[in-house]
Structure 1
Amino acid sequence: MTGYTYTEVGATRHEPLPPGYRHLHYRTYLGRDVFDCAADAILTFRMHRATGARISSDAQRAAPGVRVKVGLGPVTAPCEVVWVAEDPDRAGFGYGTLPGHQATGEEAFTVERDADGKVWFSVTAFSRPARPLMRLGGPFAVLAQHLYARLCGRALRRLCARSRTVDP
């Protein structure tokens, strides 16, 4: 796997996350009967777009090798999808940073249905600054990553609530 700015490619798929990075673990409850909607929104990058982020990708759906650029304000972050899960009770993907990204590391967005039928959204990431803007941002950069995870959760909840109010 070439082009990534870190060596622990795929490490967001399973715990523990690699040492030497800041770790992010965010989890929020989405509801019941929203798994299919949430999985589709994550895998088609609709969740990201619903946060207000500018998303461009070389495919409509997440798959290993798909390149994604996430734009927030003046910053554009190039990434590549590393892994995808599309199981009956777990779906999502992880993408890794490419040259030009402000950070180095990996971030995963998943939705899971537990044994009780509750649906949970999670963001798991490991990262460290790669460029001056991120280094200068220090604690603000960490806060921004946490806020984006929460924004994704809210966007996903909103998208799935909306889909349940539409008649088939």
Structure 2
Amino acid sequence: MTRLTGAGRSTFNYPERGATARRPLPAGYHLTHHRARIGSGLAAFAAAGDAVTTFRAHRASGMLVEAAASQGRPVRPGDRVVVGIGAGPLRIDAPCEVIWTAYEPRRTGFAYGTLAGHPERGEESFVVDLDADGSVWFEVNAFSRPASWYTRLAGPVVPFLQQRYARRLARHVRKLAVAPRPV
């Protein structure tokens, strides 16, 4: 398992750091976008934002997460995160670093960028928005391209899986936004 480290930390494996905070996303990458209505009202907005920024939604969707924020503390820029899937020799770990965060009255979320050792190169943002009409939305935006032999070999399967995961994550954010947080 990849471990979070302090000294000798990995470096980003792509040059467009912070691009998910701007538009358009960089050319030359596969782009993923998914936006889903989560609910309505301040309580749903707060619960969804908490689920996203503490990785509860990621864990609920089946991902293994190693991060300070996964222990209940909201993410901060510079936080290291290892997201994993699978088990034993089939486990894939994906090291990332939080690039930016948003803790605003109507917008909560973050983006992380891939580090050396990640099977992809790029960045992904996870944002919860509260519209003026009270609607709560969850949005994923990402740009990526293969960084390992197996993601290059998988070709178009990887973008399909990324889009599928964005939809799955939205479903879990929706469930967590209406469920009371465990004590």
Taking structure 1 as the reference length, the TM-score comes to 0.94
In structure 2, runs of 5+ residues without a counterpart are 1-9
Equivalence map 1:88-107=2 (5 Å): 88-107=105-124
- Describe the superposition over 1:109-142 as per-residue Cα deviations: whole angstroms up to 9, x where unpaired: 0000111110100000000001011001111111
Alignment match, 1:25: 33
Residues in 2 aligned to 1:5 and 1:136: alpha-carbon distance in whole angstroms: 19
Q: How many residues align?
A: 165
In structure 1, runs of 5+ residues without a counterpart are none
Q: Which amino acid aligns with 1:123?
A: V
Q: Which amino acid aligns with 2:150?
A: L
Equivalence map 1:64-79=2 (5 Å): 64-73=77-86, 74-79=91-96
The answer as to 2:98 corresponding to 1:81 is yes
Q: How large is the Cα RMSD of the aligned pairs?
A: 1.7
Q: Secondary structure at the match of 1:41?
A: helix
Residues in 1 aligned to 2:122 and 2:84: alpha-carbon distance in whole angstroms: 17
2:102 touches 2:108 (CA, 8 Å); kept in 1?
A: yes
Residues in 1 aligned to 2:105 and 2:146: alpha-carbon distance in whole angstroms: 36
Alignment match, 1:4: 12
- Describe the superposition over 1:145-165 as per-residue Cα deviations: whole angstroms up to 9, x where unpaired: 11110111011111112129x
Alignment match, 1:16: 24
Q: Which amino acid aligns with 2:48?
A: A
Residues in 2 aligned to 1:13 and 1:26: alpha-carbon distance in whole angstroms: 16
- Describe the superposition over 1:62-98 as per-residue Cα deviations: whole angstroms up to 9, x where unpaired: 1100000001112110000000000000010000000
Equivalence map 1:39-50=2 (5 Å): 39-50=49-60
